[in-house]
Amino acid sequence: MRKTGTSVQHTIKSPIYCRGIGLHSGRVVTMTLRPAAVDSGIVFRRVDLDPVVDLPALWSNAMASPLCTTLRNDEGVTVSTIEHLMAALHAGGIDNIVVELDAAEVPILDGSADPFLFLIDCAGPMAQTRTRRSIEVRKTIRVEAGESWAEITPDARLSIQCDIDFASHAIGRQSTDIVVAAQGFRDEIARARTFGFLHEVEQMRAAGLARGGSLDNAIVVDGDTVLNEEGLRFDDEFVRHKTLDIIGDLYLAGAPLLGRVRAHRPSHALTYKLLTQLFADAEAWRYHPAVELDGESADDQPLSWVEPVAALSA
């Protein structure tokens, strides 16, 4: 019997590839997205190495980093800047996929998640014959780092409240409050680009980082001025991108989280710390277990975790 009213796992129908610049390496990267079997999860594959190395996209394989999200195995093999692709996979409902790379970094493309959603759409999501697990948050977990903090509390869906506060008048104080949903992500979050300050970019380049960064793939702020000639895609694009990063980093849980996230002045390292603390407490979470669908097609099964987006507040 087919289970009805349940959410099923999804992969993509066919492989698709793109080429782009690595934000920190500055080198051209070829990335290929490939279909994957049920229960295999999201796996980043370094095909430039011999033998090829697979890195599952899980919090337990991640490194705390202020600049980007990086996976690392015990042998020191890494894949970095995965967060924008992870956010697109999360919002696109993709559970199982292989991400092949011929370098140690995901291409930055335009600095948002929108191009990755386009790739997923072109490849075509494909339903699979096993139910999708979610992770139910059962108690409040809170982490702090200086003036920054983040917490997750029990809820029936994933929602994120995020606020930032910068001295630059180009950014200032901004906040969002959203329910993580497929269409809402596309309309309100996906196009928000990564950003940085000109003096920080110069410092990173001196340290051998941000070699691929440009006005084509990031918002660059100099004092109180946005240097990009085309301006911003949203008045509050900065906090929307911070929310995008949180969505991508949370998908390192290995399944969609059901909880209410609140974050003040967030970072990749802070979200990583939140996941680490959550999974360190066996009473703080539980799975909704996967169920076999007896090999039947599940094309008509709804993605039950997708819900309307809440209004964004300036």
Query: How far, in Å, CA of 86 to CA of 95, rounded?
Result: 10
Residue 309: per-residue pLDDT: 30
With pLDDT > 70 as the criterion, what percentage of the chain qualifies? 88
Query: How far, in Å, CA of 130 to CA of 127, rounded?
Result: 9
Q: Measured in Å, how far apart are the chain's first and last C-alpha atoms?
A: 48
Report CA dihedral (208, 145, 71, 152) to the nearest 10 degrees: -150
Q: Provide the b/e sequence for 43-74 (b: ≥16 CB within 10 Å).
A: bbbbeeeeeebebebbbebbeeeebbbbbeee
Query: How far, in Å, CA of 231 to CA of 225, rounded?
Result: 10
Indicate if the pLDDT at residue 52 is higher than 70: yes
Give the list of residues 6+ apart from residue 171 with CB closer than 8 angstroms, or none: 164, 195, 221, 238
The SS3 of residue 96 is coil
Indicate if the pLDDT at residue 296 is higher than 50: no
**Cα atoms found within 13 Å of the Cα of residue 32, Cβ hemisphere only:** 11
Least confident range from 65-69, 146-150, 165-169, 259-263: namely: 65-69
Q: Catalytic amino acids? A: 268
Helix (H) or strand (E) holding 91: helix 83-91
Q: State the angle between helix axes of 83-91 and 237-250 in degrees (0 to 180), rounded to the nearest 10.
A: 80
- Closest among 20, 23, 22, 21 to 201, alpha carbons compared: 23
Residue 298: per-residue pLDDT: 35
Give the list of residues 6+ apart from residue 214 with CB closer than 8 angstroms, or none: none
Q: How confident is the model at residue 205 (pLDDT cuts 50, 70, 90)?
A: confident
**Mean pLDDT on 207-217:** 77
Query: How far, in Å, CA of 274 to CA of 255, rounded?
Result: 15
Query: How far, in Å, CA of 82 to CA of 95, rounded?
Result: 15
